[in-house]
Structure 1
Amino acid sequence: MGSEGPKAFTFHVTGFKKFQGVAENPTETIVTNLKDFVEKRGLPLGVTLGTCTILETAGDGALPLLYQTLESGISRTDGTSNEQVVWLHLGVNSGAQKFAIERKAVNEATFRCPDELGWQPQRIPIVSEDGGISRARETSCCVEGIRKFLKEKGFDVALSDDAGRFVCNYVYYHSLRFAELKGHKSLFVHVPLFAKINQETQIRFVASLLEAIASTC
């Protein structure tokens, strides 16, 4: 039966292109190279890396591509009850010194600068049907367990309750909402610039992050 045996995990990972103040986004490099890395290193039994997608660093104007990406994740699953689909979104925090696991997203779009399509909302709901800008959605992933797993692997990881109000939070809110509707899981993680933590370490971190999520969910 489909419900028997250990749960299988299919991960779909996204990163972002450049944006104002960050000419080279490390998440674009990480996500672009992740498949090759895990093919060489391997993943635990039952863990599969599905799509790896680079999103435009934009809000409303990029929604069609975001939802196309989310829907494509569903079409790639086998539909069995023991399969867990996980959306893992990576964004950069240019001022960070360590990795940050984001617990939640808030239903507020207040962009400090125009996004890459020229949109700069101020204090508006991301999803108007969800109510006001104080509404928050939290990940169903076990963030404490994930952090502990990663720290035991030697990575410097913090938990965060504020993903900002820019495009990272915007995408995360939509993803959390979509995941709840579809029975998926969604998690957003901020990474530093490569000047703070080098590219090789960051790709190893993301590969370990897949393991951490699968082992704690």
Structure 2
Amino acid sequence: MFLSCSNHMFLQLHFGVNSGATRFAIEHQAFNEATFRCPDELGWKPQKVPIIPEDGSISRTRETSLPIHEITKSLAKMCYEVMTSDDAGRFVCNYVYYHSLRFAEQHGIKSLFVHVPLFLTIDEETQMQFAASLLEVLASLY
């Protein structure tokens, strides 16, 4: 999702499912590491490979420039089960977020990744309300 607020703040917002999660997780960073537990759609199954080799080792991280603790607190005040996270995994979600954070840094925009639980854990209606509330919180920041 690519969003633009009235004062021209651009934001790339991504959602991914964490099947083991019991709450929403606002991701702080992504690692330059691709380690896939199963092959992607093209059959690629990297193991401890840098996502962007020119960025250096797999321990390299990129962080969002958004105030995730403030965002998390605002959402918690709205009674959502939400937390901050420093680990987006090493699978597809981390891969997407790393690329997005790199692109955001290069183009002077913002990027955020949110992990959501399965609908069996938090129902679809609540997740849709959470997404709308998150957009309101993000809009209020700028």
TM-score by length of 2: 0.95
Which secondary structure state, in structure 2, belongs to the residue aligned with residue 88 of structure 1? Answer: strand
Q: How does 1:73-88 map to 2 (within 5 A)?
A: 82-88=7-13
Q: Report the CA distance between 1:118 and its aligned residue.
A: 1.3
Partner of 1:26: none
- 2:9 equivalent to 1:12: no
Structure 2: which amino acid aligns with 1:130?
Answer: D
What is the CA–CA distance in structure 1 between the aligned matches of 2:42 and 2:132, rounded to whole Å? 31
More relative contact order, 1 or 2 (CA 8 Å, 6+ apart) = 2
Q: Report the CA distance between 1:115 and its aligned residue.
A: 1.4
Structure 2: which amino acid aligns with 1:95?
Answer: G
Partner of 1:166: 91
Q: Where in structure 1 do 4 or more consecutive aligned residues deviate above 6 Å? A: none
- 2:125 equivalent to 1:200: yes
Contact 1:145 1:216 in 2 (8 A): no
Partner of 2:113: 188
Partner of 1:52: none
RMSD of aligned C-alpha atoms? 1.5
Partner of 2:32: 107
Structure 2: runs of 5+ lacking an equivalent: none
Q: Which has the larger radius of gyration?
A: 1
- 2:113 equivalent to 1:123: no
What is the CA–CA distance in structure 2 between the aligned matches of 1:12 and 1:169, rounded to whole Å? 18
Q: Report the CA distance between 1:47 and its aligned residue.
A: 4.3
What is the CA–CA distance in structure 2 between the aligned matches of 1:133 and 1:161, rounded to whole Å? 15
Which secondary structure state, in structure 2, belongs to the residue aligned with residue 83 of structure 1? Answer: coil
Contact 1:92 1:191 in 2 (8 A): yes
- 2:74 equivalent to 1:145: no
Which secondary structure state, in structure 1, belongs to the residue aligned with residue 9 of structure 2? Answer: strand
Count of residues in Structure 1 that have an aligned counterpart in Structure 2: 142
What is the CA–CA distance in structure 2 between the aligned matches of 1:87 and 1:173, rounded to whole Å? 12
